[in-house]
Structure 1
């Protein structure tokens, strides 16, 4: 089973702030709620971030 990270742990791994992480969650970053506390599958988050970057690359492409 994959280890689930807390918000603080994920912030440290991604070297980002809690506020930035919350913005990413609102944009659809995968997250599970355990009670009222969000938990993150690090591999799923990395895959989602990669997909977001690839989608942005397509949008930024000039024809």
Structure 2
């Protein structure tokens, strides 16, 4: 059985990525993967990193 990663709050994710929660909100509008637990978003760190890598790669290719 695989143990699930801890889900991060918006503030925890912002702290880890060294960005503001406002930046997290903007990224959520762009499709940043998250789960809504009630009305509170939670983030799987490895999914977020993969999304950011893919987003970076796709913007590099379009430039």
- Taking structure 1 as the reference length, the TM-score comes to 0.93
Q: Residue 18 of structure 1: which of 11, 16, 21 is its match?
A: 21
Matched, 1:53 2:50: no
Q: Alignment length, in residue pairs?
A: 60
Structure 1 partner of 2:7: 4
Higher CA-based Rg: 1
Provide the alpha-carbon RMSD of the alignment.
0.5
- Taking structure 2 as the reference length, the TM-score comes to 0.93
**What runs of 5+ residues in structure 2 fail to find an aligned partner?**
none
- State the 4+ residue runs in structure 1 displaced beyond 4 angstroms: none
Matched, 1:36 2:36: no
